[in-house]
């Protein structure tokens, strides 16, 4: 190359950015696409196996219960409110508000563990009963790993924002955490429809 | 506090050639980007070049192991009723050969070349998420060692690299052989998925200012398309392998027809990954070929926009072919017609690229050096594989050829032609950049011709063997079949390949010991990796360049600007906008740490425990959580550095 004589000075560019300007946002998006695909595979397998049965759920297998799974969906949707408020606080670099909303989000996160357990019970079938039970458990289980990840991440991150180790750049991480939260809630809706409602319709 | 507004980079004129200042900056960069010395430093090194090299060396080791297995099979089949290895060992040998070559060699090495060169080609100092990158490598290594530990303990996979159920199910594959296969697949998928995300984020957000999307090298485009294919294809086999593990471990019935499960579900899930997998291996190689052709033809590649479009179209179409692996399973005729037509149509974008390379060579001033020889070998061998591919895309023909040696011939022509020839070409082309020394041209020519002759001698007779009815995966055959002579020829070919690989290794060793020094740009090439030293320093570029053309080292303004203002006292990189690569923010990359290794070991313990008990899941969740907390929590030094930067910002 010709010897450089001009320079593009980038020293005044910001170091804390949000949304699609942030690396972590893109990384999070990448892992959402991957995890979204794993859930899609589960749903595709669910309907593929449906073709092997004359009735769904198969004979002598109870239909899934609706109460707890529906409660769970409502709680999931409501949980997006404190998370969205936390996201806004992060974007304002408002630490006290961020702490407040993430404590609320953590409480929701803990409730998900109980509610996911109820989801499994509400399937009313064991994983080793028949292929219907197997795929229903596997689908809820794969989303369960995302849920577990989200719960652990939320709890640890909430602890972290109360420590002195918190830095400005972590506001951006909080925002990306909210971004992932919406995915984890949003991706459960089609699975809920598949696992709990479709057996009543198909 | 308020969020920072967008502060556009300011263009100023300075004199960056002030030698004292340059030297001061260089020393500071050296300090910030170097890894601690010794074994510890090696274990925690997050430099993409170091991790990329480890992937390449490890994958080559697996290539040699897979090659030894191939040689064993060929020796066993050299004559009828040979008794070198028995049926049970043979099952494990061919299954481990396929699993190794697809999961432990081809995908990792082709993406690893991207890990090494994408940051250099886009003009940045490291890959996005460098700690994750190191973690991915360790997970891959653990997966590979796990597979071979099983193999050596007589618990190697036994149901082929695609591990069809019910053969791989609990009934017909008792013991742990198929579980080891299933979890090896999981390890390699984790590593490939991580690499995919890193390559996409690096290519989208870390390009040097001015490298708009229409100036991105075709090599990088090929890596990005591959990465997207990995993201959408690999989860299918990752889920499928967990389904298989669950059927075997906790008695689910996903593939068990007695309880409403379906063996064909496995085939759909596997091939929805497995067919794109072929293109995941082939597309990066297209990137290598484009780089080599452009440089050695000494002109910019002909038809750049069409080439990019062809790569993207190939990426999409690769997902519409999977059922052509299942023509013999009795699927509906309409599906057969659709997938048959799609399988023939995908030849079009590949054909477009071939014509563009021919046009580039035709209108350039080609230098027939070893990298280009391998490209020409790729053209010949891959086209033969492509032709037989169009043949087996036809349903009536496929039903005849299915499960015969014709398919073995076809797939080896496609994979060796489509990936291994370009890979060897890439070795000769980029080795000087990685090591600072040239590879021997004379030995390179010996390597090429022995390999070219060996490949054709091994696999061409297999077409005829398939037509004669020789089935795949048999450990021996009777003399009356008349398959002996052609099998013997194939074995001679395999030994020729072995000799060619030995010549290659000698060439590498001689280059390391005393090869001709390469200098920064031995080929007079056009892309940014050749503008830095060979091997590149830990920070890649002393001054981050700006780009004004597709061939920045060939066509630039008289005095191209360089980037200043990035901090040199910490690992800071420039983040640019996705479309136009305009400077947007600065970002500090984390320092090296041991936690990626700890997290990889935790992941390893999880999946290996899952082979034996479902308790692996809760145990693993705890271990991995601990590892990731350690990983994410800033150290005192990092924290102080960061606070200082935030104050100054």
For residue B143, CA distances in Å to B59, B81, B293, B398, B604 come to 12, 35, 35, 34, 8
* pLDDT over threshold 80, residue B364: yes
What average pLDDT does range A127-135 have in this prediction?
96
Round to whole Å and give the CA distance between B447 and B371. 11
pLDDT band at B7 (very low <50, low <70, confident <90, very high): very low
Residue B21 phi, psi (nearest 5): -65, -40
Q: What is the pLDDT of residues A93-126, one digit of tens each?
A: 999 999 999 999 999 999 999 999 999 999 999 9
Distance separating alpha carbons of residues B324 and B329, to the nearest angstrom: 10
Higher pLDDT, A165 or A171: A171
B320 pLDDT above the threshold of 60:
yes
pLDDT at B292 over 90: yes
Answer yes or no: are the C-beta atoms of B134 and B51 closer than 8 Å.
yes
**Poorest-confidence range of B68-77, B544-553, B592-601, B627-636?**
B627-636
Helix (H) or strand (E) holding B269: helix B263-297
Give the E-state strand segments of B506-617 in sequence order: 544-545, 562-564, 572-576, 583-588
First to last CA, chain B: 12
Query: Is the CB of B205 inside 8 Å of chain A's CB atoms?
Result: yes
**Joined tokens for residue B411:** 């797939």
Residue A157 C-alpha, separation from nearest chain B C-alpha, in angstroms: 9
What band does B3 get if pLDDT is binned at 50, 70 and 90?
very low
Chain B CB contacts of A34 below 8 Å: 193, 197, 231, 234-235
Q: How confident is the model at residue B6 (pLDDT cuts 50, 70, 90)?
A: very low
Give the span between the Cα atoms of B641 and B635, in whole angstroms. 10
**Which of A14, A16, A130 has its CB closest to that of B7?**
A14
Asked if omega into A198 is within 30° of 0 (cis), the reply is no
Q: Mean pLDDT of all residues in chain B?
A: 93
Query: Which residues of A are less than 8 Å from B262 in CB distance?
Result: 48-49, 52, 131
Query: Per-residue pLDDT for B556 more than 80?
Result: no
Predicted confidence band of residue B13 (pLDDT cuts 50, 70, 90): low
Please state, in angstroms and rounded to a whole number, the distance separating the CA atoms of residues B408 and B463: 8
pLDDT in tens, B244-253: 999 999 999 9
Task: Give me the helices (H) in B515-635, please.
Answer: 595-612, 616-632
Tokens of A66: 């609706």
* pLDDT tens for each residue of B510-553: 999 999 999 999 999 999 999 999 999 999 999 999 999 999 99
Q: Per the CB < 8 Å rule, is A138 touching B236?
A: no
The yes-or-no verdict on residue B437 having pLDDT over 50 is yes
- Please state whether the predicted TM-score (pTM) of the whole model is above 0.80: yes
Contacts of B200 in chain A (CB under 8 A): 26, 30
Query: Could you give the CA distance from residue A41 to residue A30 in angstroms, rounded to a whole number?
Result: 17
Residue from the list A3, A12, A15 with its beta carbon closest to the beta carbon of B10 = A12
Instruction: Provide the pLDDT for residue B333.
Output: 85
Give the residue with greater pLDDT, B320 vs B76: B76
**Out of B28-37, B63-72, B470-479, which region has the weakest mean confidence (pLDDT)?**
B28-37
* pLDDT (0 to 100) of residue B525: 95
Q: Is the pLDDT of residue B642 over 80?
A: no
A13: nearest CB among B7, B204, B262: B7
Residue A57 has pLDDT above 60, yes or no: yes
Cβ distance A49 to B6 less than 8 Å, yes or no, reads no
The pLDDT tens digits of the residues spanning B581-618 come to: 999 999 999 889 999 999 999 999 999 999 999 999 88
Interface of A with B in 19-58 (CB under 8 A): 20-23, 26-27, 30-31, 33-35, 37-38, 41-42, 45, 48-49, 52-53, 58
- Determine contact, residues B610/B616, Cβ cutoff 8 Å: yes
Q: Measure the CA–CA gap between B253 and B260, rounded to whole angstroms.
A: 7
Compute CA distances B581 → A29, B207, B469, B555, B612, whole Å. 20, 6, 57, 18, 49
Q: What span, in angstroms and rounded, lies between the C-alpha atoms of A129 and B546?
A: 63
| Nearest chain B residue to A135, by CA | B254
The reported pLDDT for the residue numbered B4 is 40
Map tokens 């797939």 to a residue: B411
Pairing of strands B562-564, B544-545: antiparallel
Kindly give, in sequence order, each residue whose CB lies less than 8 Å from that of residue A105, ignoring residues fewer than 6 positions away.
A79, A82, A83, A86, A154, A158, A181
pLDDT of B2 reads: 36
What are the phi and psi torsion angles at A68 (to 5°)? -65, -45
Q: What is the DSSP string of B134-203?
A: HHHHHHHHHHHHHHHHHHHTT----STTTT-TTTTSTTTS-SSHHHHHHHHHHHHHHHHHHHHHHHHHHH
Q: At residue B16, does pLDDT exceed 70?
A: no
The tokens describing B150, both together, are 């099983």
Q: To the nearest whole number, what is the mean pLDDT of chain A?
A: 93
Task: Name the token pair of B471.
Answer: 């089935």
- Structure confidence at residue B632 (pLDDT): 85
Q: With a cut of 90, say whether residue B169 has pLDDT above it.
A: yes
Q: Which residues of B touch A146 (CB under 8 A)?
A: none
Q: ipTM of the assembly? A: 0.95
Pairwise CB contact (< 8 Å): A168 & B200: no
Does residue A84 belong to the interface with chain B, where contact is any CB pair within 8 Å?
A: no
> Cα separation of A32 and B338, whole Å?
31
Query: What is the average pLDDT across A156-166?
Result: 91
Helix (H, G, I), strand (E, B) or coil at B300: coil
Q: What is the pLDDT of residue B644?
A: 75
- Cα–Cα distance between B106 and B423 in angstroms, integer? 10
Residues of B in contact with A35 (CB under 8 A): 235
Strand partners, B471: B404
């Amino acid at each position: 190359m010709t010897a450089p004589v001009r320079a593009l000075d980038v020293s005044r560019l910001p170091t804390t950015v949000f949304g699609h300007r942030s690396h972590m946002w893109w990384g999070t998006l990448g892992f959402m696409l991957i995890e979204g695909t794993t859930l899609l595979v589960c749903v595709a397998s669910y309907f593929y196996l449906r073709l092997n049965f004359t009735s769904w759920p198969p004979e002598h297998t109870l239909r899934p219960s609706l109460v707890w799974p529906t409660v769970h969906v409502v709680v999931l949707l409501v949980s997006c409110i404190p998370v969205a408020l936390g996201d806004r606080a992060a974007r304002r670099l408002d630490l006290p508000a961020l702490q407040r909303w993430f404590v609320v989000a953590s409480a929701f996160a803990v409730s998900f563990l109980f509610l996911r357990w109820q989801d499994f019970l509400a399937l009313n079938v064991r994983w080793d009963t028949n292929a219907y039970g197997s795929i229903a458990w596997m689908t809820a289980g794969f989303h369960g790993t995302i849920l577990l990840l989200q719960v652990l991440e939320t709890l640890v991150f909430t602890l972290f924002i109360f420590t002195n180790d918190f830095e400005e750049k972590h506001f951006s991480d909080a925002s990306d955490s909210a971004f992932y939260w919406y995915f984890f809630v949003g991706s459960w809706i089609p699975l809920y429809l598949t696992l709990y409602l479709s057996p009543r319709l198909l | 506090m308020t969020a920072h507004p967008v502060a556009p980079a300011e263009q100023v004129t300075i004199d960056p050639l002030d030698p004292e200042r340059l030297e001061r900056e260089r020393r500071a960069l050296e300090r910030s980007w170097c890894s601690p010395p010794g074994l510890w430093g090696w274990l925690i090194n997050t430099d993409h070049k170091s991790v990329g090299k480890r992937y390449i060396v490890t994958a080559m080791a697996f290539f040699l192991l897979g090659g030894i297995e191939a040689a064993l099979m060929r020796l066993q089949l050299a004559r009828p009723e040979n008794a070198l290895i028995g049926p049970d060992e043979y099952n494990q040998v061919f299954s481990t050969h396929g699993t190794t070559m697809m999961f432990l060699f081809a995908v990792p090495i082709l993406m690893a070349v991207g890990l090494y060169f994408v940051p250099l080609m886009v003009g940045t100092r490291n890959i996005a998420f460098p700690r994750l990158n190191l973690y991915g490598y360790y997970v891959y290594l653990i997966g590979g060692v796990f597979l071979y530990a099983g193999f050596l303990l007589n618990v190697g996979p036994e149901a082929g690299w695609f591990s069809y159920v019910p053969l791989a199910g609990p009934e017909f594959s008792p013991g742990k052989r198929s579980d080891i296969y299933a979890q090896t697949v999981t390890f390699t998928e984790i590593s490939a998925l991580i690499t995919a995300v890193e390559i996409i984020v690096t290519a989208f957000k870390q390009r040097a200012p001015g490298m708009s999307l229409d100036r991105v090298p075709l090599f990088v485009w090929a890596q990005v398309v591959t990465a997207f294919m990995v993201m959408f294809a690999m989860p299918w086999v990752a889920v499928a392998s967990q389904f298989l593990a669950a059927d075997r471990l906790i008695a689910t019935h996903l593939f068990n027809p007695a309880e409403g499960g379906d063996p064909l579900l496995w085939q759909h899930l596997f091939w929805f990954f497995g067919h794109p997998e072929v293109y995941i291996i082939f597309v990066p190689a297209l990137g290598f070929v484009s780089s080599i052709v452009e440089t050695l033809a000494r002109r910019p590649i002909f038809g750049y926009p069409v080439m990019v479009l062809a790569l993207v179209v190939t990426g999409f179409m690769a997902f519409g072919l999977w059922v052509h692996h299942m023509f013999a399973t009795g699927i509906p005729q309409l599906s057969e017609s659709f997938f048959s037509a799609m399988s023939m149509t995908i030849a079009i974008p590949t054909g477009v690229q071939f014509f563009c390379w021919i046009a580039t060579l035709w209108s350039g001033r080609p230098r027939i050096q070893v990298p280009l020889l391998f490209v020409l070998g790729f053209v010949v061998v891959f086209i033969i594989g492509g032709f037989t591919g169009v043949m087996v895309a036809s349903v009536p023909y496929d039903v005849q050829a299915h499960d015969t040696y014709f398919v073995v011939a076809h797939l080896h022509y496609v994979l060796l032609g489509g990936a291994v020839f370009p890979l060897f070409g890439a070795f000769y082309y980029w080795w000087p950049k990685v090591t600072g020394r040239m590879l021997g041209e004379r030995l390179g020519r010996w390597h090429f011709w022995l390999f070219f002759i060996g490949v054709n001698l091994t696999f061409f007779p297999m077409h005829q063997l398939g037509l004669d009815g020789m089935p795949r995966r048999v450990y021996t055959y009777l003399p009356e079949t008349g398959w002996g002579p052609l099998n013997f020829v194939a074995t001679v070919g395999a030994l020729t390949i072995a000799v060619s690989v030995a010549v290659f290794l000698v060439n590498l060793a001689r280059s390391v010991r005393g090869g001709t020094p390469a200098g920064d740009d031995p080929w007079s090439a056009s892309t940014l990796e050749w503008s830095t030293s060979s091997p590149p320093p830990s920070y890649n570029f002393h001054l981050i360049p700006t780009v004004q053309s597709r061939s920045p080292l060939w066509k630039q303004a008289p005095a191209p600007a360089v980037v200043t203002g990035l901090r040199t006292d910490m690992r800071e990189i420039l983040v640019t906008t996705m479309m136009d690569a305009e400077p947007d923010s600065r970002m500090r990359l984390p320092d090296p740490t041991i936690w990626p290794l700890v997290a990889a070991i935790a992941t390893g313990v999880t999946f290996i425990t899952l082979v034996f008990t479902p308790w692996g899941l809760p145990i693993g969740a705890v271990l991995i959580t601990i590892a990731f907390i350690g990983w994410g929590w800033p150290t005192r030094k990092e924290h102080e550095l960061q606070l200082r930067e935030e104050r100054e910002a």
